[in-house]
Amino acid sequence: MKHPGEDQQVSSPAGFDTPLAREISDLTRRRQALASERLPQPEKTRVLTVSNQKGGVGKTTTAVNLAAALARQGARVLVIDLDPQGNASTALGVEHRAETRSVYDVIINDMPLADVVQKSPEFGALFCVPATIHLAGAEIELVSLVAREQRLRRALDLHVREMTDPYHYVFIDCPPSLGLLTINAFVAAREVLIPIQCEYYALEGLSQLLKNIELIEKHLNPDLAVSTILLTMYDSRTNLANQVAQDVRDHFPDQVLDTLIPRSVRVSEAPSYGQSVISYDLNSAGSLSYLEAAAEIARRGAPETGAQQ
Ligand SMILES: Nc1ncnc2c1ncn2[C@@H]1O[C@H](COP(=O)(O)OP(=O)(O)OP(=O)(O)O)[C@@H](O)[C@H]1O
Ligand SMILES: [Mg+2]
């Protein structure tokens, strides 16, 4: 991706033009560009499902860090952890022991969403609906329930309608599968955000995911659209990563964000401190990239198709 002033020759104060000096200068310029911009807030709540049935591609990392990035810039944001692994709950530092009221109670026991929402300790307006280990059985329990695909949608619609100041954004973190939990997420959302890891098998399985989204759109949620694709764990030193990034851009020119998320140790360390990378190390390259990706999402706004709730 090109950043403002990227083509200029950059020198360190001592007059050395080194890769490190260039990198530091580039990070500074990007930080300043972000700081000087006020992001537009959506008029209606944007609900984005972060999904890819491939495991470990950066779904949770993306949901949590985009949410934190938007909350830091003044938005009210909710993350719904819909994965029994509970990784998003961990990363946002919210309680999710077995006895904690969670998304399981909402989907299976009809508990109002407002009763399970927790405030993340990170930012004033960042909230999380935690997932506990009980969710592992929900795929099976859902099968026999009435309106089994619509349960999250109903709970979320009701919750948002009852709020005086509704969320600007809701991110739903999906498990790596295409089961009933993920279907609930697709029905509750208007937008799908697909993180794609820049590696060899990146595009494998993507057509299956897109076919499923098409089916949901046809039968259960006509407003659903793949609005955003984000390239994750990018390593610019490898030809393969560049090749994959180019392939994805060729296939999905309108959906892929300009911002690439670099592979970064700081990003992978943050969850073990119960933090997003935005609070863990605001000045890191990973943090900056998630702030830039969030800014792009805010600037682009909701897709034209699909009436927002
Ligand atoms: N940009 C990055 N740089 C370095 N490590 C990363 C980055 N993004 C994610 N990771 C690490 O890669 C692993 C997988 O990421 P993550 O948990 O976000 O993927 P996921 O798609 O949610 O996985 P799952 O399918 O199990 O839910 C984690 O250990 C995470 O810390
Ligand atoms: Mg995950």
- Span 224-251, pLDDT tens digits: 999 999 999 999 888 999 999 999 999 9
The pLDDT, as a whole number, for residue 103 is 98
Q: Does domain 46-298 have CATH number 2.130.10.10?
A: no
Q: Is the pLDDT of residue 4 over 50?
A: no
Q: Is the pLDDT of residue 9 over 90?
A: no
Q: Among all chains, which residue has been given the structure tokens 């279907």?
A: 183
In angstroms, the CA 67 to CA 83 distance is: 17
**Pair 224, 213: CB distance under 8 Å:** yes
CA 160 to chain centroid, in Å, comes to: 19
Q: Where are the domains of the chain?
A: 46-298
Q: Is 309 in the pocket of ligand 1 (CB under 6 A)?
A: no
The minimum-distance atom of ligand 1 relative to the CA of 232 is 1
Task: Measure 61 CA to ligand 2 centroid, in angstroms.
Answer: 7
Q: Which residue's CA is minimally distant from atom 25 of ligand 1?
A: 55
How many residues can be counted in the chain? 309
Ligand nearest the Cα of residue 57 is 1
Number of Cα atoms under 13 Å in the Cβ half of residue 141: 12
In angstroms, the CA 251 to CA 237 distance is: 23
* Long-range contacts at 138-141 (CB < 8 A, ≥ 24 apart): 138/84, 138/104, 138/107, 138/108, 138/180, 138/181, 139/179, 139/180, 139/181, 141/108
Q: Which residue's CA is minimally distant from atom 5 of ligand 1?
A: 268
The pLDDT, as a whole number, for residue 192 is 98
The pLDDT, as a whole number, for residue 236 is 86
Q: Is the pLDDT of residue 3 over 80?
A: no
In angstroms, the CA 148 to CA 214 distance is: 19
H-type alpha helices, 262-309: 265-269, 277-280, 285-300
Q: In the predicted model, what is the mean pLDDT of residues 135-141?
A: 95
Q: Which residue's CA is minimally distant from atom 11 of ligand 1?
A: 268
Instruction: Using pLDDT thresholds of 50, 70 and 90, give the confidence band for residue 6.
Output: very low
Instruction: Using pLDDT thresholds of 50, 70 and 90, give the confidence band for residue 203.
Output: confident
Q: What mean pLDDT is reported for the chain?
A: 91
Task: Measure 176 CA to ligand 2 centroid, in angstroms.
Answer: 7
Q: Is 264 in the pocket of ligand 1 (CB under 6 A)?
A: yes
Q: Is the pLDDT of residue 5 over 60?
A: no
Q: What is this structure's pTM?
A: 0.93
The pLDDT, as a whole number, for residue 68 is 98
Instruction: Using pLDDT thresholds of 50, 70 and 90, give the confidence band for residue 14.
Output: low
Instruction: Using pLDDT thresholds of 50, 70 and 90, give the confidence band for residue 54.
Output: very high
